[in-house]
Amino acid sequence: MKRLYILRHAKAELGDANTQDKERDLAPRGRENAAALGAYLQAEGLIPQKVYSSDAKRTRETLKSLQSGLTDKLDVTYTDSLYLASAGDILRELQDTNPDQDAVMIVGHNPGLHHLSLMLAAEALTEDGIDTLTMKFPTCALAIMQLNIDSWDKIEPGSAVLERFLTRHDIS
């Protein structure tokens, strides 16, 4: 059994004409939401063994704030390949994950993360889970998926059960 955490970066500042998209900072609300999510994950015992994140500034800052709510340091790898990646690109990255990692988090951007979540989730543990996920994947939203696989190279569309879909409203 594998568990996949799909986290969209927290709320970011819009930036100005001189700010490249990749260099946008988190908004104060984004920092607060990510820290609250970290505390929630700690309280629920939902700690990933490995984190793969886009190397954009807002994903780095999301993880820094998330980390403030956790007792153990996360093992994070930042990669340019997750910056604005498509669902298919992210799926291929996941298929290369070390099979010894049972709980993996992806931190990135829409629309790729939203599409990936919809692609993977065949069913949900809660009655309204998939319906809620279908509507939107807002900033600092987290989809937690259960996968009945023994190796990440077996992950494929429809292979996951949506365990939880959390937004900032669920954890604040």
Per-residue tokens: 52: 């793969």
CA 61 to chain centre: 14
For 54, the enclosing helix (H) or strand (E) is strand 50-54
pLDDT of residue 126: 73
Cβ-based neighbours of 27, under 8 Å, separated by 6 or more: 10, 11, 12, 13
pLDDT for 60 equals 98
pLDDT at 36: 97
Give the relative orientation of helices 57-67 and 28-44 as an angle to the nearest 10 degrees.
50
pLDDT at 147: 97
Would you state the pLDDT for residue 171? 87
pLDDT at 7: 99
Neighbour count for residue 14 (Cβ, 10 Å) = 8
pLDDT for residue 142 is more than 80: yes
User: What number of CA atoms fall less than 13 Å from residue 21's CA on the CB side?
Assistant: 4
84-98 pLDDT, tens digit per residue, is 999 999 999 999 999
CA distance 134 to 74: 29
**What average pLDDT does this structure show over 63-75?**
94
Question: Tokens 């709980």 identify what position?
Answer: 103
pLDDT at 57: 98
Say which CATH superfamily domain 2-11+25-166 falls into. Phosphoglycerate mutase-like (3.40.50.1240)
Contact criterion met (CB below 8 Å) for 107 and 9: yes
* Average pLDDT score over the chain: 94
pLDDT at 47 over 90: yes
The residue that leads in pLDDT, 132 or 23, is: 23
Q: Quickly tell me which residue has 């954009």 as its tokens.
A: 56
